[in-house]
Structure 1
């Protein structure tokens, strides 16, 4: 038989099979747009604005609807009421982790993020209990966070007025806090092993959030048979696992069952106690995977939030001034904030909450799955169905947050200026699968607000009479790109590009070439038409002078260096001098 006929016949059978399956399933599931054979609704989704696409679908089909991402149905929940009803009121039924084939191949059902069933419950409960034992939400961990915040200040001071890219520093600080909890030691910010470890984590998060991995997760055969960046993830995971296992071996040699020092010690003790239990989920492989999960979830998310804060505060100087005034009144000039100060700093607390709400770090949450057949809002959802919950629709609900696209700490303040809690504040998700490190993240963000806004004044750089934040010949545009399966330590968030105008003064002088700078995954952008970012993907353009307004970088210090370098006038960071503290080497050594 002609091979071409065989191929055509096979494809025809696949298409007919796909149509039959979709038609039989759609009668039971919530309504949704008509899918195409094999590829589903991919062509109907704007990959540059997935949350926007979900909003449009919800206006047509209601808050519960079905999309086909490939051949499998995915139920989407859009809006506060339906998200709360599913994740909180029916928390047990919606507590499963949705299918992510790449993560399943890497983690093999282990760890805390991508696991399911009794293994997930046992690992999560142990993790939460151990973090509490180690002081999460208590003074012991807070001291560690404050020490790391002071080290961050010391690193900023080392710039001595030279151009500063704070991305690496802001990444090292939260990663070192996790290191202190997991390994009981911190690393110097110049430690090459530490920097490589962080780089591997960040690269994996970037790749996992890429459009290519979204395609791979919906067509799993591509993972095994196609070349691509997903193979880099495997290599990075092997490196991270080797790094963690090496640390585990070092800690095993000095383990004292009566005096556990860190997360690994607690786990090793539990492992000894569970050796006789054949059904126990505790193993060295599960420990290494859990540690990787904790780093992935607790490092990039916090550092990205801090970078966004450094973009938003100079963009809104009236907010910065109020935060600075409150910090000075409550803390004075030298003391670092602690969690007990939060109630006395309502505006600062509201600003931190507003940063998290506004940036919408994980807009579509990690995918959930139903653990059993369930009838939800008159719709039948079979066991194992993937469920996407739109956190963006909750964080930007206009009923709770008037003008949700505007950055305004007043969203979290009552008429008397006191902090106002909101059930719509769900950047850490909600329900059974909410972030296990929420308490630690809140502590880090509050404690770091002093180094970010208290040691140096932040202001606009190079603004002209029209109020542009960047050099007047630069024009920035934001292009949202929110991933359907962005994980808890990542954000397939926004892409941006910078177009240098043809009449650029520097271009006329022959110092730069007109063109476009693409940012990649980690672009730091805002929601306004002109966003305060100078080095896309890495750092905000901000300058700081001790306790007074700012000026742009000195003339001749450089303009557009390269596609990955500074764009526009370089900014300088000069922290206010503070007392020295030993922030090098490893704690406990």
Structure 2
């Protein structure tokens, strides 16, 4: 291509760039005073300013410059980011109805197309009622669910005993146990741990969760009201997939934290021996008499910050929020990481410290900044089941075993292996030593 041709192409590219900039400016103009934010590029928006491997860190960094409520552009579409406990609370709790719709994320839309997690409007209301009713019918909040978890915990203990104190990777042990609880609720039966098809499914779920840690952005909305079998199937997948990976990852991450904090593990052993002993299985009623165990589990969930960005919301109408005007349909990123590590809520936000949930007398205290399940109208509907599972599995494991690392605990890395939509921990091994 000659000089004239190259010059012509460059000129055309410059004109297109200018036109796109004008179009994007016009698209934003008239929306009212949107929150401030970095200047977007045509078509790309602010994507180049965000580290795809550490999305939430990039977004938190921008909040240092633009404040706790600011705007970024994902492509040509504006997204309002909320960073801090006060901003997230004001949106999701104080203005729950206005911020109550589900925003966009490509992988979520593809996997949960029309399920309870990704839907909106009347479909979401119907599916949520259906999900809650189904969980109640299967015993959510009743003893039958507790018994299912207790039984599965004993199957898991037997698997750990078979290891004869040899190190193992706990990843799929926890996935098997937690998913079997969901299977017993949804399908009325459990799978054997050696079942190859079961393992293949768990492997796929594990890859999906890792995929969530790398994929994020914008896509279409689903708001129709048709309540059909596909929606029910997708909702079942939501319960199965999300319920398995979030709880099993928390268990795996939590035991790594305890390996790094043997004094915490020892204090848990003492509380278990005092309250429960060795001759009966832990039950949910024990939680109220085990403030330290309860505080440790809360602190594990806070510290690992499993879903740092939260799941996107969007506003359902043109809305004045603080000193800004947010147009109807704007996607909202409620940064749960900024809540769980808000220094106004937690004295040592970047350290693992069960004292965040204990008073001076060692009694458990709640903290409004504890939002691993999000908050408001879109709070995780499986919160009750997850809390029950975490308490019973953690307590049963530590009732029966002490934890040992085959490597120096200083070599264990608590920083996430991947950090995007979700914080995905490093793989590691540990030995379960019978007590």
Same fold (TM > 0.5): yes
**Structure 2 match to 1:146:** 150
Tell whether the 8 Å contact from 1:49 to 1:480 is kept in structure 2 after alignment: no
Tell whether the 8 Å contact from 2:167 to 2:432 is kept in structure 1 after alignment: no
Alpha-carbon distance in structure 2 between the residues aligned to 1:320 and 1:118: 47
Could you tell me how far 1:479 is from its partner in structure 2? 6.3
Tell whether the 8 Å contact from 1:357 to 1:427 is kept in structure 2 after alignment: yes
**Structure 2 match to 1:265:** none
* 1:202 maps to 2:203: no
Could you tell me how far 1:14 is from its partner in structure 2? 4.7
**Structure 2 match to 1:15:** 17
Count of residue pairs brought into register by the alignment: 426
* 1:545 maps to 2:427: no
Q: 1:292 aligns with which of 237, 258, 262?
A: 237
Secondary structure of the equivalent of 1:75?
strand
**Structure 2 match to 1:131:** 135
Tell whether the 8 Å contact from 2:169 to 2:430 is kept in structure 1 after alignment: no
Could you tell me how far 1:77 is from its partner in structure 2? 0.6
* Aligned-residue CA RMSD (Å): 2.4
Alpha-carbon distance in structure 1 between the residues aligned to 2:186 and 2:8: 57
Tell whether the 8 Å contact from 2:345 to 2:368 is kept in structure 1 after alignment: no
Secondary structure of the equivalent of 1:73?
strand
Secondary structure of the equivalent of 1:299?
helix
- The 1:104–1:9 alpha-carbon spacing in structure 2 relative to 1, beyond 3 Å, is farther
Alpha-carbon distance in structure 1 between the residues aligned to 2:414 and 2:85: 29
Alpha-carbon distance in structure 2 between the residues aligned to 1:482 and 1:161: 32
TM-score, structure 1 length as denominator? 0.68
Residues 101-129 of structure 1, C-alpha deviations (whole Å, 9 max, x = no match): 44434544x11111111101110122112
Tell whether the 8 Å contact from 1:336 to 1:450 is kept in structure 2 after alignment: no
**Structure 2 match to 1:482:** 419
Could you tell me how far 1:52 is from its partner in structure 2? 2.9
Could you tell me how far 1:371 is from its partner in structure 2? 1.2
- The 1:175–1:7 alpha-carbon spacing in structure 2 relative to 1, beyond 3 Å, is farther
Could you tell me how far 1:367 is from its partner in structure 2? 0.9
Secondary structure of the equivalent of 2:403?
coil
Tell whether the 8 Å contact from 2:71 to 2:78 is kept in structure 1 after alignment: yes
Secondary structure of the equivalent of 1:469?
helix
**Structure 2 match to 1:341:** 286
Identify unmatched segments of 5+ residues in structure 1.
Answer: 222-278, 494-521, 525-535, 548-589
Secondary structure of the equivalent of 1:545?
strand
Q: 1:44 aligns with which of 38, 44, 49?
A: 49
Residues 447-483 of structure 1, C-alpha deviations (whole Å, 9 max, x = no match): 00133322111145444xxxx534xxxx859467532
Tell whether the 8 Å contact from 1:123 to 1:281 is kept in structure 2 after alignment: no
Secondary structure of the equivalent of 2:169?
coil
**Structure 2 match to 1:165:** 169
Alpha-carbon distance in structure 2 between the residues aligned to 1:77 and 1:295: 29
Could you tell me how far 1:205 is from its partner in structure 2? 2.2
Tell me whether 415-424 or 191-200 shows the greater mean CA deviation: 191-200
Q: 2:344 aligns with which of 381, 395, 399?
A: 399
**Structure 1 match to 2:395:** 450
Q: 2:425 aligns with which of 523, 532, 543?
A: 523
Secondary structure of the equivalent of 1:28?
coil
Secondary structure of the equivalent of 1:450?
helix
User: Where in structure 2 are the equivalents of 1:455-466 lying within 5 Å?
Assistant: 455-463=400-408
Alpha-carbon distance in structure 1 between the residues aligned to 2:111 and 2:263: 46
Tell whether the 8 Å contact from 1:34 to 1:41 is kept in structure 2 after alignment: yes
**Structure 2 match to 1:433:** 378
- The 1:150–1:62 alpha-carbon spacing in structure 2 relative to 1, beyond 3 Å, is same
Tell whether the 8 Å contact from 1:48 to 1:480 is kept in structure 2 after alignment: no
* 1:323 maps to 2:298: no
Alpha-carbon distance in structure 2 between the residues aligned to 1:35 and 1:173: 46
Q: Which has the larger radius of gyration?
A: 1
Could you tell me how far 1:93 is from its partner in structure 2? 1.1
Alpha-carbon distance in structure 2 between the residues aligned to 1:332 and 1:159: 24
- The 1:377–1:158 alpha-carbon spacing in structure 2 relative to 1, beyond 3 Å, is same
**Structure 2 match to 1:516:** none
**Structure 2 match to 1:97:** 102
Could you tell me how far 1:412 is from its partner in structure 2? 0.2
Secondary structure of the equivalent of 1:65?
strand
Alpha-carbon distance in structure 1 between the residues aligned to 2:52 and 2:106: 20
Tell me whether 331-340 or 182-191 shows the greater mean CA deviation: 331-340
Identify unmatched segments of 5+ residues in structure 2.
Answer: none
**Structure with greater helix percent:** 2
* 1:313 maps to 2:258: yes
**Structure 2 match to 1:585:** none
Could you tell me how far 1:82 is from its partner in structure 2? 1.0
Could you tell me how far 1:42 is from its partner in structure 2? 2.1
Q: 1:379 aligns with which of 319, 324, 334?
A: 324
Alpha-carbon distance in structure 2 between the residues aligned to 1:541 and 1:187: 24
Could you tell me how far 1:290 is from its partner in structure 2? 0.9
User: Where in structure 2 are the equivalents of 1:133-282 lying within 5 Å?
Assistant: 133-210=137-214, 213-214=215-216, 217-218=217-218, 281-282=226-227
User: Where in structure 2 are the equivalents of 1:61-76 lying within 5 Å?
Assistant: 61-76=66-81
Q: 2:59 aligns with which of 48, 54, 63?
A: 54
Could you tell me how far 1:430 is from its partner in structure 2? 0.3
Tell whether the 8 Å contact from 1:317 to 1:459 is kept in structure 2 after alignment: no
